[in-house]
Amino acid sequence: MAVKDSVQRTAFSAQRNKAVIGANVTVMVVLALLLFGMANYFSARHYHRFDLTRIKIYSLSDQSKAILKELKGPIKITVFFQPTHALYGPMRELLQGYQYHGDKKVEVEFVDPGRDYARAKILAEKYKIDDMNLVIFESGDRNKYIGAQAIADYDYQGFFGGGAPKLKAFRGEEAFTSAILAVTEERKPSIYFMTGHGEKEIEKTDPAAGYSVVSQLLQHANFDVQEFSLLREGKIPQTADLVVLAGPNVALAEMEIQELGMYLDGGGKLLLMADPLTEPGLTELLKKHGIELGNDVIVDPAKKLPFVSPANVFITEYGSHPITEKIQGLATLFPLARSVSPAAPLPSDISVVELAKTTSYGWGEAKTAVNEFQFNEGEDKKGPVSIAVAMEKKLEGEKTARMVVIGDSDFISNSQLGNLGNKDFFFNIIHWLVQQEKKIAIGPKIPEQVNLNLNASQMGQVFWETIIGLPLLSLALGGAVLWRRRR
């Protein structure tokens, strides 16, 4: 009887333990489901994206976020890129950022012709395209097409040796934000390049003397670019948001100088790029606006390029200004430049800021005809020497006159624009001059290049440890296990 009672108690205890375990498992499952549901509930209402890349390649700049916040209407973005394209992944992540910060005003559709041929054909006919690697931005009846060449810069040095091109810079944000502005802004800012004094020509394809590349890039950035002769037309067009005088070889006529002065007095914007060994005849006009153009050639032994004249300098020293705020650390290359400095004393209503300057080892060489440059105390301008300045003058009401003067016009020629930070420096200047500060410094993202260089001894160590050592270690462990099982 006692044995029977013991068996019953054991069975009852087992059933109770089983019930307790089952209840515990049920409670844990229910709690896990509740936690999962709560996590999804809060994540859906408090969604946040994280960019864990070191250079934040998928994060938007403050400028892009501000532009998205000010959108008045919806933006439709249609992506025709093939999923196998090298830029597809980074571009997709970046566009998700535009959706996230667009406050439901940005719609993105990815079209894969391989999976949905019918949809791709319909949209291809709608937009009249035959290229399947395009991003189309659309707002109302305006649209903008962005191709792969505008999204990334490649290094083709290894291409001719059989290697693949390497991604040098990812310009996705720069291209996409410009496209959004192009389809949402009411009008294109107009840039007029003056002619008649030997200036650089915007349609000329000559590597050293042409501006065709920068002209095309300005048009892609939603600017209306054209040339005009002030001497022939007699006045600056009323539609001019910016007048550019790029490397005049001869002095302007008195009538032209007076017209430029009246243009600035009315709140105009002027970009002057004056090369060394030339005289544009603007000394008095510049002095009136607090700027002095040096009759010299810039030399900087600390920042000279190898195998070329010391007059070829690159600049990494920048002043504090909206133009240069986001390009600190970038170098700008000037093949041949003269000094441009703030004049003293400055009028009370004018501010002049040095944008780019040499190191303390540089100077402005007054003897421009010499073959070897040497600093001469009392004759040459001691460094640091400024190469570019920005002027702003407050006028009546809310008007302001703005002018940037640079001691070189070659740094944005067809052969030089792609060097270092030349393009970024120039476009920041343009955006500031036309009062588009929100576009300044949406620069490229430079992918990290991590190289592992091993000498012969280290390569030998890697060989013995990986090719020989690891297989031998595996065999030894296997033998040890087999020996232990047979004991």
- 250 and 109 belong to one structural domain: no
pLDDT at 473: 84
pLDDT at 303: 85
Residue entry with tokens 């592992």: 452
pLDDT at 214: 94
For residue 396, being part of any structural domain is answered with yes
What lies within 8 Å, CB to CB, of 254 at 6+ separation is none
- Both tokens assigned to 357: 């300057």
CA atoms within 13 A on the CB side of 236: 28
For residue 235, being part of any structural domain is answered with yes
- 254 and 357 belong to one structural domain: yes
- 290 and 364 belong to one structural domain: yes
Kindly indicate the confidence band of residue 319, based on its pLDDT and cuts at 50, 70 and 90: very high
Share of the chain above pLDDT 70, in %: 85
Instruction: Provide the phi-psi class of 225: left if phi over 0, else alpha when psi is between -120 and 50, else beta.
Output: beta
For residue 257, being part of any structural domain is answered with yes
Query: Is the pLDDT assigned to residue 472 strictly greater than 90?
Result: no
CA–CA gap between residue 129 and residue 80 (Å, rounded)? 10
- 180, 214, 239: which is the final residue of a domain? 180
- 151, 180, 209: which is the final residue of a domain? 180
- 242 and 302 belong to one structural domain: yes
Q: Pairing state of beta strands 400-406 and 269-273?
A: parallel
pLDDT at 72: 86
Q: Are 390 and 355 in contact (CB under 8 A)?
A: yes
Q: What is the pLDDT of residues 73-100, one digit of tens each?
A: 899 999 988 888 888 888 899 999 999 8
Q: Are 111 and 120 in contact (CB under 8 A)?
A: yes
For residue 444, being part of any structural domain is answered with no
pLDDT at 8: 58
Residue 204, φ and ψ in degrees, nearest 5: -80, 130
Query: Is the pLDDT assigned to residue 45 strictly greater than 80?
Result: no
pLDDT at 392: 97
Q: What is the pLDDT of residues 401-450, one digit of tens each?
A: 999 999 999 999 999 998 888 998 999 999 999 998 777 656 555 555 44
Using a 10 angstrom Cβ sphere, with 0-12 exposed, 13-18 middle and 19 or more buried, the burial of residue 175 is buried
- 423, 439, 455: which is the final residue of a domain? 439
For residue 483, being part of any structural domain is answered with no
- Using CA atoms, how far residue 88 sits from 117, 220, 462, in Å, is 18, 22, 35
pLDDT at 205: 93
Share of the chain above pLDDT 90, in %: 43
- 164 and 194 belong to one structural domain: no
- 85 and 130 belong to one structural domain: yes
- Both tokens assigned to 223: 């600017």
Q: Which long-range contacts (CB under 8 A, 24 or more apart) does 285-289 make?
A: 285/257, 285/260, 285/261, 286/343, 286/405, 287/343, 288/261, 289/264, 289/350, 289/352, 289/391, 289/393, 289/401, 289/403
The beta strand positions in 373-445, using DSSP E, are 381-382, 386-394, 400-406
pLDDT at 297: 94
- Residue 106 belongs to a domain with what CATH number? 3.40.30.10
Q: What is the pLDDT of residues 350-385, one digit of tens each?
A: 999 999 999 999 999 998 776 678 888 889 999 899
pLDDT at 67: 85
For residue 240, being part of any structural domain is answered with yes
- 260 and 172 belong to one structural domain: no
Q: Which domain holds residue 259?
A: 187-439
**In 88-226, alpha helices (H):** 88-101, 117-127, 148-151, 172-184, 212-220
Query: Mean pLDDT lowest for which of 67-71, 303-307, 387-391?
Result: 303-307
CA–CA gap between residue 392 and residue 289 (Å, rounded)? 9
- Using CA atoms, how far residue 17 sits from 6, 8, 433, in Å, is 16, 14, 80
- Both tokens assigned to 444: 């490229």
| Residues facing 109 on adjacent strands | 78
CA torsion through residues 99, 104, 106, 112, sign: positive
Reference 290, options 329, 250, 340; nearest CA is 340
Listed ranges 56-65, 88-97, 263-272, 294-303; the one with the highest mean pLDDT:
263-272
Kindly indicate the confidence band of residue 44, based on its pLDDT and cuts at 50, 70 and 90: low
Kindly indicate the confidence band of residue 190, based on its pLDDT and cuts at 50, 70 and 90: very high
Looking at the structure of the chain, the number of domains it has is 2
CA–CA gap between residue 365 and residue 297 (Å, rounded)? 5
Query: Is the pLDDT assigned to residue 471 strictly greater than 50?
Result: yes
pLDDT at 3: 52
pLDDT at 291: 96
- 124 and 209 belong to one structural domain: no
Whether omega for the bond prior to residue 345 falls within 30 degrees of 0, making it cis, is yes
- 167 and 195 belong to one structural domain: no
For residue 27, being part of any structural domain is answered with no
Query: Is the pLDDT assigned to residue 58 strictly greater than 70?
Result: no
- 229 and 175 belong to one structural domain: no
- Per-residue pLDDT, averaged over 150-176, amounts to 71
For residue 160, being part of any structural domain is answered with yes
- 69 and 193 belong to one structural domain: no
pLDDT at 49: 52
Kindly indicate the confidence band of residue 388, based on its pLDDT and cuts at 50, 70 and 90: very high
Q: Are 269 and 243 in contact (CB under 8 A)?
A: yes
pLDDT at 285: 96
Q: What is the pLDDT of residues 237-284, one digit of tens each?
A: 999 999 999 999 999 999 999 999 999 999 999 999 999 999 999 999
Query: Is the pLDDT assigned to residue 47 strictly greater than 60?
Result: no
- Residue 281 belongs to a domain with what CATH number? 3.40.50
- 293 and 193 belong to one structural domain: yes
pLDDT, mean over the chain: 84
Q: Are 444 and 238 in contact (CB under 8 A)?
A: no
Name which residue leads in pLDDT, 456 or 420.
420
